[in-house]
């Protein structure tokens, strides 16, 4: 053994080959934390000092190669400014350069995932052999960053400028076929043959059959593009990448800039350029927010896994009541992720609609090559359509997804409770109705809770798991485990009208209603909020959700919180509802809808909406964009603060992730609590107080005022 540490080791194999094996103790995956970086330096010392080393093989002792840097170390380094950021990057850049400059050939065996810094160390090797189930990539832009350990330097020298820019700017994981086609790897083999294949390739390089030195020279030299080729490549790429990313996400353009500025110089100079761009990105608010989201996502995942461990049994059979679009979506997701599900409706038409929805979603996967027809058949066979309760005694969980009407739900829930075992958990996919109210007719309320999916089920990651007053921990644990198995982000919240997401969304809609009442153009409001970062403005969002659905939910919210959410005027949504304009579902809402070339609804402005609104709103006038943003966001932020203070949600991280996953709150802002921290609660309180005359929705809580006075934040500073 040449070197043995807690993160990696080096041992001599036959024929003078040194195996450098990554195996970080106490972790399920390998990552480049400070320990790994330090030990890699020590391992390279050992290899350089050893006699008889003819080649180096890099391997992993885990099911993945290296998943990237340790993101938990970013906060402290980034807050230390440019010097702290450079310090985080320099040592491993030195390591990868040393690996690349070893006097012997190097080959890496890539199993599982090699992402970010994990792929960058692979690029530092002379040859790359990839398992047929592995994936590689440089996903740093998803954190608001760019590769910082040579990714923008080595990848374009290996695969070409265009492919490298595309891979890095998109941040996507690449499958073996794509990696091989791009020449990012030299061979793809079955995983069980990976080490043998890598050793054979290394042996050929040692024997002089392969010229590894010329490969190195290419990676260390300028890229041979003439000025015209470079101008065409970078001008077009930067324009496209900038348009796709948008102004709120600067890192994709910074990555292309790093390639552009570094292509004319050698490796070491290009690495300095990359570091400059990395430091620039690391100091942006976008990077701070996206790194925070990554850590928050890990945190909520740990909470969900903790709940799953408490479950007394696995969910092996499920059922959904009410087919249709929502029920069909739930059935599809359950079946697609491996849990057989009964899909019950009272009418064959409902069953047909649910099956049509599942079939449509699966067919799209087949068309895109992500699923074989045979696998599609297997998934469909896991969905059992039924008009009766036959076999319900054997299911572990039932999700009720019937019409959003308390009386109907009461009847259905009471009925199904009599058809299942005493052990079965029943969950309601209600979006607003109190779980405690729905539990009233049930004999076993401890087995009842909410499981609120968001539409469309297959796309929206969030599931709100709603605890009623009598809900048992075991019921929560089972449903969280089921949500995890379905590939969803489960966040446990407590019961109240609207739960968490809708309780916070409707004050946002109330802010919109008051703006339109006071003379704002709803299209102008949409544009301002979309530029602020929302995927769609409030009028467009209402059309997508369904104005009839929104009006119904709004009444539930007003009954639950009359002092804040009761209305004294006719809202724009009420006007549209009374006119039978329900949004995309009937092709007319605030906007009209036509099919685009791909058959998707496209919004079209219409004067009819303005004519309908005229009797109910003030004369149209222009609002400053800051006023629009403030009047929209203050009600949402104050309501979320109330939810945290009341214990509806347990932590700022869970609250922020719920809004990002549930309604598309702008990720680059990090969530509402992260946004409040960034602007400062003292500034927010001043902002809110400007609109005190608009009512209680614009009143910060006493706790918010206390925090503002003390300079406190929702997230602890690093």
Helix (H) or strand (E) holding 683: helix 681-689
Write the DSSP string, 148-165: -SSHHHHHHHHH-HHHHH
Spatial neighbors of 86 by CB under 8 A, at least 6 apart, are 275, 279
Strand order from edge to edge, sheet including 448-453 = 383-386, 341-344, 318-321, 397-400, 425-428, 448-453, 462-467, 489-494
**Closest among 321, 344, 319, 349 to 334, alpha carbons compared:** 319
What DSSP string describes 193-205?
GHHHHHHHHHHHH
Does residue 452 carry a catalytic annotation? yes
Which residues fall within 8 angstroms of residue 413, CB to CB, at 6 or more apart? Answer: 400, 426, 428, 438, 441, 442, 448
**521 φψ region: left (φ > 0), alpha (ψ -120 to 50), beta (else):** beta
Length of the chain: 718
Token pair 């102004």 is found at 247
Rounded to whole angstroms, the Cα distance separating 160 from 183 reads 9
One of 183, 410, 452, 616 is an active-site residue; which one? Answer: 452
Question: 486 and 589 in contact (C-beta within 8 Å)?
Answer: no
Distance CA 320, CA 332 (A): 11
| Residue 221 DSSP symbol | S
State the pairing for strand pair 397-400/383-386.
unpaired
Using a CB cutoff of 8 Å and minimum separation of 24, what contacts does 602-610 make? Answer: 603/540, 603/543, 605/523, 609/522, 609/576, 609/581
Question: CA-to-CA distance for 139 and 475, rounded, in angstroms?
Answer: 37
Cα–Cα distance between 377 and 366 in angstroms, integer? 11
* CA–CA distance, 700 with 709 (Å, rounded to integer): 13
Helices 625-646 and 681-689, interaxial angle, to 10°? 110
Report which of 582, 467, 452, 568 is spatially closest to residue 505, judged by C-alpha positions.
452
- Three-state DSSP state, 133: coil
d(CA 584, CA 602): 9
**In the beta sheet, which residues pair with residue 197?**
none
Distance of CA 145 to the CA centre of its chain: 16
Write out the two tokens for 491.
Answer: 């966040």
Question: Taken in order 484, 488, 492, 498, is the CA torsion positive or negative?
Answer: negative
CB 158 within 8 A of CB 219: yes
- Distance, in Å, from the CA atom of 412 to the CA atom of 433, rounded to the nearest integer, reads 15
Q: Which of 639, 641, 629 is nearest to 706 (CA)?
A: 641
Residue 371: exposure state from Cβ atoms within 10 A (0-12, 13-18, ≥19): middle
C-alpha–C-alpha distance, residues 226 and 634, integer Å: 54
Residues annotated as part of the active site: 452
């Amino acid at each position: 053994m040449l070197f043995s540490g807690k993160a990696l080791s080096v041992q001599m194999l036959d024929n003078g080959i040194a195996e450098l094996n990554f195996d970080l103790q106490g972790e399920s995956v390998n990552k480049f934390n400070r320990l790994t970086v330090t030990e890699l330096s020590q391992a390279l010392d050992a290899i350089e000092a050893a006699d008889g080393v003819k080649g180096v093989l890099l391997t992993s002792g885990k099911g993945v190669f290296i998943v990237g840097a340790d993101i938990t170390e970013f906060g402290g380094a980034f807050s230390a400014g440019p010097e702290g950021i450079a310090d985080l990057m320099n040592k491993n850049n030195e390591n990868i350069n040393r690996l690349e400059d070893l006097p012997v050939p190097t080959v890496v065996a890539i199993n599982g995932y090699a992402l970010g810094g994990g792929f960058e160390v692979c690029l530092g090797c002379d040859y790359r052999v990839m398992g047929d189930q592995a994936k590689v990539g440089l996903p740093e832009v998803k954190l608001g960053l760019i590769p910082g350990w040579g990714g923008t330097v080595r990848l374009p020298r290996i695969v070409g400028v265009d492919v490298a820019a595309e891979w890095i700017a998109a941040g996507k994981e690449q499958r073996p076929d794509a990696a091989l086609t791009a020449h990012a790897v030299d061979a793809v083999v079955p995983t069980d043959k990976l080490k043998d294949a890598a050793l054979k390739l290394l042996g050929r390089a040692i024997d002089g059959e392969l010229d590894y030195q010329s490969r190195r020279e290419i990676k260390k030299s300028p890229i041979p593009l003439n000025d015209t080729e470079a101008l065409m490549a970078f001008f077009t790429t930067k324009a496209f990448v900038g348009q796709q990313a948008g102004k709120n996400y600067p890192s994709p353009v910074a990555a292309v800039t790093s390639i552009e500025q570094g292509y004319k110089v050698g490796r070491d100079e290009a690495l300095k350029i990359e570091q400059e761009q990395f430091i620039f990105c690391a100091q942006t608010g976008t990077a701070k927010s996206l790194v925070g989201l990554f850590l928050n996502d890990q945190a909520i995942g740990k909470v969900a896994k903790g709940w799953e461990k408490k479950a007394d049994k696995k969910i092996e059979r499920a059922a959904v009541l009410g087919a249709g679009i929502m029920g069909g979506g739930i059935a599809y997701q359950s079946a697609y992720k491996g849990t057989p599900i009964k899909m019950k409706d009272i009418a064959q038409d409902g069953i047909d609609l649910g099956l049509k929805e599942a079939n449509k979603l699966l067919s799209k996967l087949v068309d895109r090559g992500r699923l074989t027809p045979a696998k599609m058949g297997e998934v469909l066979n896991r969905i059992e359509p039924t008009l009766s309760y036959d076999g319900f005694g054997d299911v572990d969980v039932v999700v009720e997804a019937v019409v959003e009407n308390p009386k109907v739900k009461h009847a259905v829930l009471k009925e199904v409770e009599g058809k299942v075992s005493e052990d079965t958990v029943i969950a309601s996919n209600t979006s607003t109705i109190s779980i405690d109210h729905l539990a009233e007719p049930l004999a076993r309320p401890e087995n009842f809770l909410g499981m609120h999916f968001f539409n469309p089920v297959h796309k929206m990651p969030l599931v709100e798991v709603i605890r009623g007053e009598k809900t048992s921990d075991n019921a929560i644990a089972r449903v969280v485990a089921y949500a995890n198995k379905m590939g969803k982000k489960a966040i446990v919240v407590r019961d109240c009208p609207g739960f968490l997401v809708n309780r916070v969304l409707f004050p946002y809609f109330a802010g919109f209603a008051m703006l339109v009442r006071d003379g704002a153009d709803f299209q102008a409001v949409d544009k301002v909020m979309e530029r602020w970062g929302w995927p769609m403005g409030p009028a467009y969002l209402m059309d997508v959700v369904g104005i009839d659905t929104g009006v119904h939910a709004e009444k539930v919210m007003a009954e639950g919180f009359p002092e804040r959410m009761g209305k004294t005027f006719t809202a724009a949504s009420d006007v549209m509802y009374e006119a039978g304009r329900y949004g995309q579902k009937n092709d007319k809402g605030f906007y009209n809808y036509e099919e685009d070339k791909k058959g998707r609804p496209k919004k079209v402005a219409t004067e009819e909406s303005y004519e309908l609104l005229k009797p109910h709103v003030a004369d149209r006038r222009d609002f400053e964009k800051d006023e629009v943003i403030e009047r929209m966001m203050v009600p949402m932020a104050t309501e979320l603060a109330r939810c945290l203070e009341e214990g509806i949600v347990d932590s700022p991280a869970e609250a922020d992730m719920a809004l990002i996953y549930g309604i598309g709150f702008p990720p680059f802002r990090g969530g509402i609590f992260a946004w409040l921290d960034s602007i400062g609660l003292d500034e927010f309180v001043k902002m809110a107080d400007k609109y005190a005359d608009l009512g209680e929705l614009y009143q910060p809580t006493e706790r918010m005022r206390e925090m503002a006075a003390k300079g406190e934040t929702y997230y602890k500073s690093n």
